[in-house]
């Protein structure tokens, strides 16, 4: 079982927890390849998707994961929730608590909101992305994909390219890579780097071309124009020229190096269509792994084996 009640910050997990989740996800991935993709494991448990920020792929991924484990899933999204009527997150948490929910997955535009939930309810919490802070299940599914494709995690050099300062994906992935013995390098213009990138535990580079030959993984981040305060680079064209992954750059990488992206992609900006659709691109593998990893996380948080045998 996991050593933590919640998955809010990737560092809530130990290295053993991460290994357990990835191993458990392997078996769930096999289930997802069957014709009948359903297990009775979490029958009778209630999982709430509390998505207070727009999301399609993450919400769907969690929803599918819950359904495939036979949990009763409920969606509580921003447009239908009481939050638009002015209810505070604390009140929403207490309402959900009164309804005896077992697990809440929260996506919220403000960092720290999953911690706020833990102060107002007893349910297990999974952080589905909080502001610019973390998105731990994304990091887990990324590790899963890297391990599956490259056969190992320890010793890999992973370049995370783009909007590091606003990226909750980088916020989780960098510490996760460190925990499994990989070497993260964040690569971005200074305007897209946080104030103290070293605090995340990554090396820092401002030239993609310089570090490209060292990389086992080029992890391209989406340019989040909606989060930026003012344009952090002169033009999309210049950004793509300096930091975009294209066929020429791919050719300069190690022969077995892979390209990843958390989606949704801006084709032609951080990644060219030719690369995105190539055999070196793991983008759809990541999506596929997401369901299995989230099944594993839910299963392990909600009692896992004990519950399964009870059912």
With H, G, I as helix, E, B as strand and everything else as coil, classify residue 258: strand
Assess 240 for contact with other proteins (CB under 8 A): no
Q: Between residues 170 and 245, which has the closer beta carbon with respect to other proteins?
A: 170
Q: Between residues 196 and 251, which has the closer beta carbon with respect to other proteins?
A: 196
Minimal distance, residue 273 CB to other proteins, in Å: 31
10 Å CB burial of residue 61 (0-12, 13-18, 19+) is buried
Among residues 36, 98, 196, 251, the one that binds other proteins under rule CB under 8 A = 196
Q: Between residues 32 and 118, which has the closer beta carbon with respect to other proteins?
A: 118
Question: Where do we find the tokens 């952090």?
Answer: 232
Assess 168 for contact with other proteins (CB under 8 A): yes
Per CB under 8 A, which region of 35-43, 128-136, 260-268, 279-287 contacts other proteins? 128-136
Minimal distance, residue 164 CB to other proteins, in Å: 9
CA distance 275 to 249: 10
**Segment (H or E) for 208:** helix 208-211
CA distance 169 to 261: 10
Cite the beta strand spans of 98-208 per DSSP E: 103-108, 124-130, 157-161, 183-187, 203-205
Assess 98 for contact with other proteins (CB under 8 A): no
Q: Between residues 197 and 290, which has the closer beta carbon with respect to other proteins?
A: 197
Minimal distance, residue 256 CB to other proteins, in Å: 32
Lookup: tokens for 9: 């910050």
Per CB under 8 A, which region of 33-41, 87-95, 138-146, 272-280 contacts other proteins? 87-95
DSSP 40-104: -TTTT-EEEEEE-S--SHHHHHHHHHHHHTT-EEEEEETTTSGGGGT--HHHHHHHHHHTT-SEE
Assess 128 for contact with other proteins (CB under 8 A): no
Among residues 6, 29, 45, 133, the one that binds other proteins under rule CB under 8 A = 133
Which parts of this chain interact with other proteins (CB under 8 A)? 9, 88-90, 108, 110-113, 115-116, 130-134, 168, 171, 194-197, 199-200, 229
């Amino acid at each position: 079982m996991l050593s933590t009640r919640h998955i809010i910050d990737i560092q809530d997990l130990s290295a053993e927890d991460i290994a357990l989740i990835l191993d458990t996800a392997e078996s769930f991935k096999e289930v997802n390849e069957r014709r009948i993709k359903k297990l009775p494991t979490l029958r009778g448990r209630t999982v709430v998707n509390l998505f207070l920020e727009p999301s399609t792929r993450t919400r769907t991924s969690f929803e599918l994961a819950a359904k495939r484990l036979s949990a009763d899933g409920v969606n509580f999204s921003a447009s239908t929730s009481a939050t638009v009527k002015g209810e505070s997150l604390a009140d929403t948490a207490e309402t959900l608590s009164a309804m005896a929910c077992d697990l809440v997955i929260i996506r919220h535009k403000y960092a720290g909101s999953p911690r706020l939930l833990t102060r107002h309810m007893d349910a297990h919490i999974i952080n589905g992305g909080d502001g610019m802070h973390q998105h731990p299940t994304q990091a887990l599914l990324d590790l899963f994909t890297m391990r599956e494709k490259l056969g190992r995690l320890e010793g890999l050099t992973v370049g995370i390219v783009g909007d590091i300062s606003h990226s909750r994906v980088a916020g989780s992935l960098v510490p996760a890579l460190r925990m499994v013995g990989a070497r993260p390098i964040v690569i971005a213009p200074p305007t897209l780097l946080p104030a103290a990138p070293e605090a995340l535990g990554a090396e820092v580079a401002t030239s993609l071309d310089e570090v490209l030959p060292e990389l086992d993984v080029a992890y391209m981040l989406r340019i989040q124009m909606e989060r930026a305060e003012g344009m952090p680079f002169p033009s999309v064209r210049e950004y793509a020229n300096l930091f975009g992954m294209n066929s020429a750059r791919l050719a300069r990488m190690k022969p077995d190096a892979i390209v990843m992206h958390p989606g949704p992609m801006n084709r032609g900006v951080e990644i060219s269509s030719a690369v995105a659709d190539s055999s070196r691109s793991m983008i759809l593998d990541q999506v596929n792994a997401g369901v299995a990893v989230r099944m594993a996380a839910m299963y392990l948080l909600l009692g896992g084996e004990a519950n399964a045998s009870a059912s």
